[in-house]
Amino acid sequence: MLALLGLAMVVVFTYLIMSKRLSPIVALTVVPIVFALIGGFGGTTGKMMLDGLKMVAPSAALLLFAILFFGLMIDSGLFDPLIRKILKRVNGDPMKIAIGTALLSLTVALDGDGTTTYMITCAAMLPLYKRIGMNPMILATIAMLSLSIMSGLSPWGGPATRAIAALGVDAGEYFIPLLPTMIGGAAWVVFTAFLLGRAERKRIGNTLLQSGGGDCYIKAILEDTPHKRPKLAYVNLLLVIGVMIALVMGLAHSAILFLIGFVLALMINYPQLDIQKERILAHSGNAMTVVLLVFAAGVFAGIFSGTKMVDALAQTLVEWIPPSWGHLFPLVVAITSMPLTFVLSNDAYYFGVVPILANAAAAYGIDPVEIARASVLGQPVHLMSPLVASTLLLVGMVDRDIGDFQRATVKWAVLTSLVITALALLTGALTLFV
């Protein structure tokens, strides 16, 4: 009964979002409350919502301070040299722009952080997309796919870190067989960018932008503002590197590190109090929208896990797998990771569902490390979910609705998951026969 109720809740929620019957914040809050009441959990719904809010509070704080930190870095012009090099290469050719977007986002996504990836990629490329009339959804699709490969599969990215921790497997043993899949996945993202760019070139044609003089398109995109601080570029670069090193070393919670980074960036670049206030206000609208959505997602996740709907769905899945399919278990996990990670947070999936799947697989003699590898292959679909905080940031930056984003990306996300699953099978990262 609980499994059916959970499935119905997910279907109703997805339909309301994609059909634009309700806004994401309203749907994320109202739908789980209604289904909790239907399931007879009225007495504990408030506690479950509070638990969900507590669960996402660190993520909300992280996003708030990361948006403010990188917003200041973009304001100061830190990334202008990199952006200038890319813009010079692509000019007004939609296909080159799409491929440039892929190469930039794949590189930036190596740090494993979605917020960083999206903010830098959008800051670099979105003005050019708008200038020549390209669809910003292409940028969003490419950036999302890049993050799913570079952060989704690497052991320093969030999903793999959780899978490794939950199953107690060795990071090197997990990653080395998966490395060819990651490289192949990156090549697929570039190829996808080529296809999307070529289609856009057919739609709008090439635009030859002036690359010299006062009307140079690069100067127009990287316009000089009173907030640029070119003399402090090396100081800002050291600050960013310092924050990233601290993140990798785990010196403190990421929200704390970004808070410290933001405060230092504010003091260094804008010591005047009135300018500090102005810069905070300039970025606070975008930041608060994302934070509100994250808290609404916390309500959804809190009720979904608190009512045990997620446990019932996972158990049902395990029971439905016939014993004769035992040797196919890694493939089953890879395929089912797409819908399961779409409706669940990474924490809920990797710490709640994946151990169940690994125990079931062990009965067929399958090593837990294969289940860890298989579990990350649905990340392209996961990043379409409104439960992912960085995705909400991306949608806000390209000024589109989450439903529009899902419709534009669903085909490419599913294809990418299937491609990397096929690559994992071909390269031996996943096996079908024990």
Q: What's residue 424's pLDDT?
A: 92
Q: What's residue 362's pLDDT?
A: 77
Burial class (CB within 10 angstroms; exposed 0-12, middle 13-18, buried 19+) of 249: exposed
Q: What's residue 85's pLDDT?
A: 75
Q: What's residue 352's pLDDT?
A: 67
Q: What's residue 211's pLDDT?
A: 55
**Cα 142 to the chain's mean position, in Å?**
11
Which residue ranges in the chain fall short of pLDDT 50?
Answer: none
Q: What's residue 146's pLDDT?
A: 93
pLDDT in tens, 360-371: 777 778 888 898
Q: What's residue 194's pLDDT?
A: 94
pTM of structure: 0.73
